[in-house]
């Protein structure tokens, strides 16, 4: 019996060593942790239960039968994050470069199937050289099976990808279909075709970092939702995110203890909006002052900064926040901000996370670049996302809400439940000067008359009361009481139910 137990222990030891001490050392030399070290940081202590530790590939071509390491380049299983179950896979770059084989893919598919069946998030730690060339189409088939699982799990359980090394070719499409993608600066990258192929085909000289590094994907492409300095920080932030999310679409987000009075008054908000309507202010100040313990978890912070998206808690419950940022492009909607917000709104609706929308929007950004880029269709994505969302929706207009952008930003007409406005709100088709010049074209050559007309337009429409008279604004509230009013609104909506016509699925304007 002792011999059998020793054999098991020896095999486990070999599996845990991955590609061996030399390769582990090379991984550390790059500033990267090993697959198992990452899982130790991500999961609660001693909570990891591993599957398929002894799985090995079955390839017999190109001498591969002589090298059949345990685990086949990926560590899979389940564990807990702050006591809540998650399923995980962590690719091991020390074993055949973390390349994906048929059996490697089957291990990942197995835990994804279990996650859907048991209603728990899936977290993938990606560090792979891509498809295992020696296996040819079997490797590609494995990727295809993973992609299909991503699609089936979408909207059922949260899916989080952390890019902690190379991710190229077909490998990028699995993370792209997950809900959140995090990257590690200077040690991870994503691209469909690498720098060498780009040079051959287009004659462009570009580095891997420039082509698909963390900075590129968080600021330019919007592929990634956040970038962190190292593996440790990235994994800590994943733990923080998981804490905010429900385990599946059958559950609500966890309710955490809070130490902040729901009725807290913030006198400083009464002076947040400047007297000059063209002077910017920081909308993040409002968000943090509304949140429990002033804690705000921002998503895609570096992309489309004229729109803010992220999570706060109110009375210990997760709320998704979408807000215009007057500090950038005056808070205008454009292609990038519309896509960013629409994706976030749809995620929140998938998982029954209530939506708080903070509005200060002068309209859509004008220009040929926007029109040629399809701002009509991209703006419609956000409109569609808000209109189809059935979660509790509370909207607060702090200043400008002009034109079609007023409608798009969770207006009463898109079935928002509570629509509040501050006394500083201006709800109109456009700004006073532009409106006066159109309405009173005959006086266009007389600046004094136009100024008088603009003043008249301001007096009549540059306030929230016309909309309030028509019931489009439920209440004009004092800024200092916003946390109290919003908290009470969401509390009243906790049992909201909406019946919609049967459909197979909608056809959002992609």
Active site residues: 169-170, 404-405
State residue 311 phi and psi, 5-degree precision: -120, 140
What are the start-end ranges of the H helices in 30-101? 35-42
d(CA 179, CA 311): 14
Extract the tokens encoding 270. Answer: 């009464």
Extract the tokens encoding 115. Answer: 């996650």
What letters, b where the CB count within 10 A reaches 16 and e where it falls short, cover 137-154?
Answer: ebbbebbeebbebbeebe
Extract the tokens encoding 74. Answer: 């990926």
428 pairs with which residues across the strands?
Answer: 402
401 pairs with which residues across the strands?
Answer: 361, 427
What residue has token string 């792209």? 176
Extract the tokens encoding 332. Answer: 């205008």
d(CA 298, CA 302): 10
d(CA 240, CA 278): 37
Contact 431, 362 (CB under 8 A): yes
What residue has token string 């159109």? 438
Extract the tokens encoding 85. Answer: 């179950």
Count the neighbouring beta carbons within 10 Å of the beta carbon of residue 460.
13
d(CA 114, CA 152): 12
End-to-end CA distance of the chain: 62
State residue 384 phi and psi, 5-degree precision: -65, -45
Sign of CA dihedral 227, 232, 236, 239: positive
Q: Mapping DSSP to helix (H, G, I), strand (E, B) and coil, where does residue 190 land?
A: strand
What residue has token string 């301001």? 458
**What angle separates helix 375-388 from helix 335-350, to the nearest 10 degrees?**
20
State residue 397 phi and psi, 5-degree precision: -95, 115
């Amino acid at each position: 019996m002792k011999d059998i137990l020793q054999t098991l222990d020896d095999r486990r030891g070999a599996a845990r060593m991955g590609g061996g001490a030399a390769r582990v050392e090379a991984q550390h030399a790059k500033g990267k942790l090993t697959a198992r070290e990452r899982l130790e940081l991500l999961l609660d202590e001693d909570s990891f239960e591993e599957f398929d530790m002894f799985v090995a590939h079955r390839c017999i071509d190109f001498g591969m039968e002589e090298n059949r390491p345990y685990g086949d380049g990926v560590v899979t299983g389940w564990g807990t994050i702050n006591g809540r179950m998650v399923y995980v896979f962590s690719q091991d770059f020390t074993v055949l470069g973390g390349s994906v084989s048929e059996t490697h893919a089957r291990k990942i598919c197995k835990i994804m199937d279990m996650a859907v069946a048991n209603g728990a998030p899936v977290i993938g730690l990606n560090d792979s050289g891509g498809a295992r060339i020696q296996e040819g189409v079997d490797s590609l088939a494995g990727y295809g099976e993973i992609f299909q699982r991503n699609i089936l799990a979408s909207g059922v359980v949260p899916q989080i990808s952390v890019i902690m090394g190379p991710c190229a070719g077909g490998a990028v499409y699995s993370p792209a279909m997950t809900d959140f993608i995090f990257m590690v600066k200077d040690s991870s990258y994503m691209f469909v075709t690498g720098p060498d192929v780009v040079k051959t085909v287009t004659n462009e000289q570009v580095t891997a970092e420039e082509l698909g590094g963390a900075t590129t994907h968080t600021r330019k492409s919007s592929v990634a939702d956040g970038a962190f300095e190292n593996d440790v920080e990235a994994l800590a932030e994943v733990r923080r995110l998981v804490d905010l999310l429900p385990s599946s679409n059958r559950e609500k987000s966890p309710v955490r203890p809070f130490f902040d009075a729901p009725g807290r008054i913030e006198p400083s908000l009464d002076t947040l909006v400047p007297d000059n309507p063209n002077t910017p202010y920081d909308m993040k100040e409002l968000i943090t002052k509304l949140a429990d313990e002033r804690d705000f978890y921002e998503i895609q912070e570096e992309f489309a900064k004229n729109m803010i998206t992220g999570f706060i808690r109110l009375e210990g419950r997760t709320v998704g926040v979408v807000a215009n940022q007057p500090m950038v492009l005056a808070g205008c909607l454009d292609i990038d901000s519309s896509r960013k917000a629409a994706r976030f709104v749809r995620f929140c609706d998938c998982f029954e996370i209530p939506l708080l929308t903070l509005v200060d929007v002068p309209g859509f950004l004008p220009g040929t670049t926007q029109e040629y880029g399809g701002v009509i269709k991209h703006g419609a994505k956000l409109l569609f996302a808000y209109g189809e969302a059935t979660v509790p929706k509370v909207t607060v207009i702090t200043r400008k809400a002009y034109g079609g952008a007023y409608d798009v930003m969770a207006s009463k007409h898109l079935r928002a439940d509570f629509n509040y406005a501050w006394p500083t709100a201006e709800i109109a088709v456009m700004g006073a000067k532009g409106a006066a010049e159109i309405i009173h074209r005959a006086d266009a050559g007389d600046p004094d008359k136009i100024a008088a007309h603009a003043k008249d337009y301001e007096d009549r429409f540059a306030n929230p009361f016309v909309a309030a008279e028509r019931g489009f604004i439920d209440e004009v509230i004092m800024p200092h009481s916003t946390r109290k009013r919003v908290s009470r609104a969401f509390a009243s909506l906790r049992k909201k139910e909406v019946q919609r016509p049967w459909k197979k699925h909608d056809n959002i304007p992609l």
